Structure 1
């Protein structure tokens, strides 16, 4: 049973590390253990679940804007990782080709790129805190806003969506 719990913990840490939100080593973390690894019975970082609040931004843009977009989103990731540990639950940025038929993943690519940012917070007030903090502290905030306003770029934003359904279950790693 201990082996299974360790495997679950290792899987949770790996999943969290992939999306870029890793807690600092917990009290009691084993020396040489990966960041965020815990040796105590403390629960692993939690998933976004029903009742939490989401900030989701989807940007679709032309090839000419992708290099700048990559640089800005990488800067955003570094900023978020260093400044939001106290109130950010999860953070993920996905990037991929826009499809000619958005309902058919096998349809031809349009040549444009879509970025999908997904951030999860406990409260809507935390999302407000994020916007104020990022605008005041993140050096590339205005550059990202300007990038999103470029010609042939579409932006859709869910500023404070409440998670209605979630498959997260206490005690299970998904």
Structure 2
């Protein structure tokens, strides 16, 4: 497997994009929980899938794109894969609770397992794990930090001023 990466700036800090055999497999943020070691990101390259990924990320951050259309190569268990597909069904600017995701997956008692899979999402922002909240509407865990989660949700709702503490 040929692994390459590039780093792009974003309003939420530098994003490291990683591709496996030319297909996006990871989007990592600075200070992200579960961030793999830098040496696993492969050689630096700005070609491959990166120009299209970068184009779509820029359009998203400009408020012009609400759904990513990218091939992804995310490694995970079958359950994690199901959770990550369900995350992609959460509409832009909306949220779902862990319990609602578990229910949508046909496993209403699996909200804790959904939370664990959500936390292992290798392609944050593009696979919108930031759109998952607690049952009471609280912002709970986010690998990129609760500040980023709050800012992303406020951005998607068109109220970036709500992201201020």
TM-score range, shorter chain: under 0.3
* TM-score normalised by the chain length of structure 2: 0.23
Which structure has more RCO (C-alpha within 8 Å, separation ≥ 6)?
1
- Structure number with the higher strand fraction is 1
* TM-score normalised by the chain length of structure 1: 0.23
Bigger radius of gyration, 1 or 2? 1
